[in-house]
Amino acid sequence: MVNPLAEGQAQGGDMLREIPTSIQELAATYGVSVSRHTVDTVVNEGCSAGRDIYLGKSDDPDLELIAFFHELGHVLSEERVCKRGCVLSILSGEGLAWELGLGIAFEHGYEWKYDSKAMKYARRCLVSYINNDATKIDVAEAGMVVLVQKQGREGEQ
């Protein structure tokens, strides 16, 4: 695996350092822009909108790299998989972005062991959506959204 630290990035230094050249080149390969999102960001997280990827403050180059691939997974999932304009749920969309992003990383020679810090980070990120999404199911019927919440399901048992 190519380590972004080899590109002259100081670990533990400036959390708003320049985005590593390897990430910029990968972004260009897929026709996406990548920039630093500096306003009220959580360390080692990113976001995407359309074909733009925004990486937040970073204190770990491996976490920044895997976060980039996850956001790239979001961009590409919208184009390749979710042609209908939506995903089944937020949780499934996040899982899809992780799987696509990790697959793309692998195609470019990046691979993390299951028990590595980066893969633990990826799993923690994914699981963070469970309480936000998996406890309710959004079902659209005749223009209405019906929320089936966990509490209501417990009463049926």
Residues 117 and 133: their CA atoms lie apart, in Å, by 25
Q: What is the pLDDT of residue 71?
A: 96
Tell me, what DSSP letter sits at residue 85? S
Residue ranges of alpha helices (H) inside the chain are 21-29, 61-80, 90-107, 117-127, 150-154
Q: What is the pLDDT of residue 8?
A: 35
Q: What is the pLDDT of residue 17?
A: 76
Nearest to 105 by CA among 14, 19, 4: 4
Q: What is the pLDDT of residue 70?
A: 96
What residue numbers bound the domain in which 110 lies? 4-154
CA distances from 60 to 2, 38, 132 (A): 14, 16, 27
Tell whether pTM > 0.95: no
Please state the domain count of the chain. Answer: 1
Q: What is the pLDDT of residue 20?
A: 93
- Reduced to 3 states (helix: H, G, I; strand: E, B; else coil), residue 71 is helix
Residue type, 41: T
Token couple for 35: 């920039």
List the pLDDT tens digit at each of the 157 positions of the chain. 333 433 334 344 456 678 999 999 999 999 999 998 876 667 888 889 889 999 988 889 999 999 999 999 999 987 777 667 667 778 888 999 999 999 999 999 999 999 999 999 999 999 888 766 444 444 333 333 333 344 444 555 5
Q: What is the pLDDT of residue 79?
A: 77
Residues 118 and 111: their CA atoms lie apart, in Å, by 10
Residues 11 and 18: their CA atoms lie apart, in Å, by 12
